[in-house]
Amino acid sequence: MPNNPPVDDPSQASPVFAGFRSQLSADENVLCTLVVDLDAQLRFAKGFLALTDRRLLACSPAGEWSSWPTLDTSGHWLGHLTLQHSDHAGVGALALHDGDRQLVRWRFTLGVNVQVLRLVRLFDQQKALAGAGVPGDMPSDDGAVCPECDLPLPPDSDECPACARELHTPPSTWVLLRLWRFARPYRNQLLLGFVLTLASTAATLVPPYLTIPLMDDVLIPFQNGQQIEPWKVGAILGGLLGAAVIGWALNWARTYLLALVSERIGADLRTATFDHLLELSLDYFGGKRTGDLMARIGSETDRICVFLSLHALDFATDVLMIVMTAVILFSINPWLAVVTLLPLPFIGWMIHVVRDKLRTGFEKIDRVWSDVTNVLADTIPGIRVVKAFAQEKREAQRFRVVNEHNLAVNDKLNKTWSLFTPTVSLLTEVGLLVVWAFGIWLVSKQQITVGVLTAFIAYIGRFYGRLDSMSRIVSVTQKAAAGAKRIFDILDHVSNVPDPAQPVPITAPQGRIEMKGLGFRYGSRSVIRGLDLQIQPGEMIGLVGHSGSGKSTLVNLLCRFYDVTDGAITVDGTDIRRFAVADYRRHIGLVLQEPFLFFGTIAENIAYGKPGATRAEIVQAARAAHAHEFILRLPQGYDSLVGERGQGLSGGERQRISIARALLIDPRILILDEATSSVDTETEKEIQRALDNLVQGRTTIAIAHRLSTLRKADRLVVMDRGQVVEVGPHDELMARQGAYWRLYEAQARQVDHDGEASDSDDSRIAVAVSQAAHTAQHAGQA
């Protein structure tokens, strides 16, 4: 949700805008309004823009109004007015130009970027129409708009494609046929299952046929006083028993066989989906939530598995039963068979109508259920923060809201389903009543016997029972189709970081890195622009700059978590896009600011990048990372279990295990991303000693906000707004008194302000706590 959505009546947004209506002429039409949230000094302050059919109006945070006419009195475009939109590192800019001259510029956060793009679009449309000589036909957005971004909605739609993270097309039942890719390895078992289904269905159709001689040759003659031969009775009853036993055996065999096959198809589907998910780039995960992906791989594949093992089998049985029963009915009496089929067109029409509602409804239920799992995936890993800020009630309310939404969506779908099922049952009962009536009439005309009518009724019971069963399977089929669509949404996604068709092998890399004309964008945000940098083998480079200057993005590009938009990165003269991704990353060691440890033993976490490492190699890496001593103090040493995300260890201990993990793979290129920023001074010294061992003989790129930690770097690279502004050793850059000198001096002044008497993190925290307490005391007095 944007922070400052456009307002229809600006006077309601802030007192600054109270005079907006008075600025308008009587016949002036407002096309678009916009609230910008930054001033020229990038401080949070609300300003206002409005585009009308003849000018652009603006109000500064101080309440001063300005306007720039866009049309002359004859309706032609004035001068060379253009609106230019740009953004960088989360801050957008909108500038009004007259030719090469900038008239005014507004700043805003990307929270209102969508509304700005809408204003630019309408401005350009107005300019195009005026240039075409049709000033009276101004663009407008009088139709429905999206409540999220205020962009016009497509006709006959209530979903905005600009806000949708993915295009939610209704799932087609035909998507289930794509599962054949996973069923193909088991085609022989499936063929055997089909034969068993055919045989078991035929066996269940034998008893109704045997009721004809049982009624006409045994029961009715016996009732009329005729003598019945015992062997005939025994033969008929034996046939009924034999058909029942054979049907049971065949049903058991086909159910067991197809259940085994469906479980294996489900397991293969889960494995293939997870394998493909791991191959996707970080860009894909940035647009997805953990709970949603877990729901797709878990519950959706389970739903498909249940459909294949139970309901698909039932559906095949129902189809065979209906076809075979229909053939028998027509062979017994065609006219009575025609009467039996009367309800079919009505049931078919209902299934067609309800199916469309069900398949869209079930996909919506899946998306809403993902919201429920997303809340769980957010809250449970962050339970420490929840409890620390006493937000249990807030999280419980958040879960209650999504759970109630899930309930409402299910209730809406159940209204349709609850009406459909009884209606099908009613139609089958009416059909059975009509058959009874017509059959009695045929018996009275002596065209059929009572035995034939009895058999007919028995077959009809199976016929209508299967129709009712098929109508119920519609619901399950649409659920499976919705789940299959969400699974194939993952499988069909192509990684933005693909492997080359003919990868270049990496043999004994030296670690020479060169970046030429590098450019990269996160969606509409330009983060890296025209960057050139060369790093020699074994050189240590320190990346410094303000937050948002592009340091971490540059590291992500070097690791090939993303691919560059412009330019190229080469290692030893070869573009990294020509290497196989996994092969290239094996030569990169990465130590993050927040080290991630998996649930398992200490040894397993250290050996994560080299699963086949011996215990001696693991201990050697831990010693080099200064982690061996504290590991031995743990109850089980290297076999001690680490809690989820390393909960049982301190931040410094987790970081040293992360360093040991990087040391073990012996990388040629090492990346340190704020490796010591979140620990105290003593722990930082331990980690720094471990890092000194790690960087020896390796091409190293280190990011740090504490500039003092980068003094050992051979060169410092200063970045600003996605570009390199300075390069050189610490002393040289300090002598220049440029961008690095300003960063260093600002940090030194901050340390002095917080109390230079103590350089430890504890003293800085103490100052912050005392300031917070002082503020709270004054607030309480107020």
Check pLDDT > 70 for residue 715. yes
pLDDT in tens, 205-240: 788 778 778 777 777 777 777 777 788 788 888 888
Task: Measure the CA–CA gap between 177 and 198, rounded to whole angstroms.
Answer: 21
Task: Measure the CA–CA gap between 705 and 777, rounded to whole angstroms.
Answer: 32
Cα dihedral sign, 352-357-360-361: negative
Check pLDDT > 60 for residue 6. no
Check pLDDT > 60 for residue 414. yes
pLDDT in tens, 499-509: 888 888 888 88
Q: What is the pLDDT of residue 166?
A: 40
Query: What is the mean predicted confidence (pLDDT) over 752-773?
Result: 44
Place of tokens 């015992």: 230
Query: What is the mean predicted confidence (pLDDT) over 578-605?
Result: 84
Instruction: Please state the φ and ψ torsions of residue 463, each to the nearest 5 degrees.
Output: -60, -55
Q: What is the pLDDT of residue 72?
A: 74
How far does Cα 78 stand from its chain's mean position?
A: 47
Check pLDDT > 70 for residue 753. no
Q: Based on C-alpha coordinates, what's the Rg of the chain?
A: 37
3 state SS of 257: helix
More confident residue, 781 or 29: 29
Q: How many helices (H) and strands (E) does the chain have?
A: 26, 19
Q: What is the pLDDT of residue 141?
A: 44
pLDDT in tens, 419-454: 776 777 777 778 778 878 888 888 887 887 877 778
Check pLDDT > 80 for residue 712. no
Check pLDDT > 80 for residue 476. no
More confident residue, 132 or 746: 746
What are 395's two structure tokens? 């999280």
What is the pLDDT of the chain when averaged over all its residues?
76
**For residues 599, 604, 606 and 607, what is the CA-based torsion angle, rounded to 10 degrees?**
-140
Split at pLDDT 50, 70, 90, the class of 156 is very low
Split at pLDDT 50, 70, 90, the class of 359 is low
Which DSSP string do the residues of 2-41 spell out, in sequence order?
-SS---SSGGGT-GGGTTHHHHS-TTPPEEEEEEEEE-TT
Which DSSP string do the residues of 426-471 spell out, in sequence order?
HHHHHHHHHHHHHHHHHHHTTSS-HHHHHHHHHHHHHHHHHHHHHH
Task: Measure the CA–CA gap between 82 and 95, rounded to whole angstroms.
Answer: 8
Query: What is the mean predicted confidence (pLDDT) over 693-713?
Result: 76
**Contact predicate 558/513, CB 8 Å:** yes
- In the chain, what is the straight-line distance between the N-terminal and C-terminal CA atoms, in Å? 34
Range 499-507 contact pairs with CB under 8 angstroms and sequence separation of 24 or more: 499/580, 499/581, 500/577, 500/578, 500/579, 500/580, 503/578, 503/579, 503/580, 503/583, 504/574, 504/578, 504/579, 505/583, 506/579, 506/583, 506/584, 506/587
**Sequence letter at residue 415:** K
Split at pLDDT 50, 70, 90, the class of 378 is confident
Task: Measure the CA–CA gap between 703 and 705, rounded to whole angstroms.
Answer: 7
Task: Answer whether 0.85 is exceeded by the pTM.
Answer: no
Which DSSP string do the residues of 714-753 spell out, in sequence order?
SEEEEEETTEEEEEE-HHHHHHHTSHHHHHHHHHHHHHHH
Residues 6+ apart with CB under 8 A from 526: 86, 87, 88, 519, 520, 722
Split at pLDDT 50, 70, 90, the class of 137 is very low
Split at pLDDT 50, 70, 90, the class of 769 is very low
Query: What is the mean predicted confidence (pLDDT) over 183-207?
Result: 84
pLDDT in tens, 259-296: 888 888 888 888 888 888 888 877 777 667 777 777 77
Query: What is the mean predicted confidence (pLDDT) over 247-254?
Result: 87
Q: What is the pLDDT of residue 679?
A: 55
What are 532's two structure tokens? 């050139």
More confident residue, 539 or 336: 539
**Residue among 205, 239, 238, 232 at smallest CA distance from 217:** 232
Task: Measure the CA–CA gap between 416 and 166, rounded to whole angstroms.
Answer: 27
In the chain, what percentage of residues exceed pLDDT 90? 0
